[in-house]
Amino acid sequence: MTTPVTYIHEKHFSYSEALASLALVRPIAADIVAKTGRLNKLKIRLNELKMSDFCQHDEIQVLETGAKFLMREIKYHLQELEQVGCLLKDPLQGLIDFPSLYKNQEVYLCWKLGETTILEYHGVYDGTQGRKEIPFDMIS
């Protein structure tokens, strides 16, 4: 009797499904990268103001409100990616993984904002250091 295979993810993309979803994922990833960059700048400025000898409550309040807004927006975009079924791995680079199966093993098809297509994959526990070129039999 064989033991049933269990996977981490319920949804798995074929290579062509992952490629097709880039039309939706690309603008979401771009929004996350842009908003994460703005949020980081806001946090730096907030820290500077809070460490300053001159209390600037109005500016701090405006920046905190802006930071909360950006965090809500980023959370919304993460929910959008979750609905698609892919995973954000790096919000500063727009690194996205698509769960997939290759030779009965769960893997991630890797894509990064700025890339025109999906060129690499890695094992679920390998991380980006384990990225390998997508073999022909995974595409077909």
Q: 0.85 exceeded by the pTM?
A: yes
Q: How far apart are CA 72 and CA 67, in angstroms?
A: 9
- Sign of dihedral through CA atoms 17, 23, 24, 30? positive
Domain boundaries, the chain: 15-139
**Residues 31-81: pLDDT tens digits?**
999 999 999 999 999 998 888 877 678 888 999 999 999 999 999 999 999
**Residues 94-130: pLDDT tens digits?**
999 999 999 989 999 999 999 999 999 999 988 778 8
- In angstroms, the Cα distances linking 111 to 81, 94, 121 are 13, 8, 9
Alpha carbons within 13 angstroms on the beta-carbon side of residue 17 total 14
pLDDT of 1 reads 63
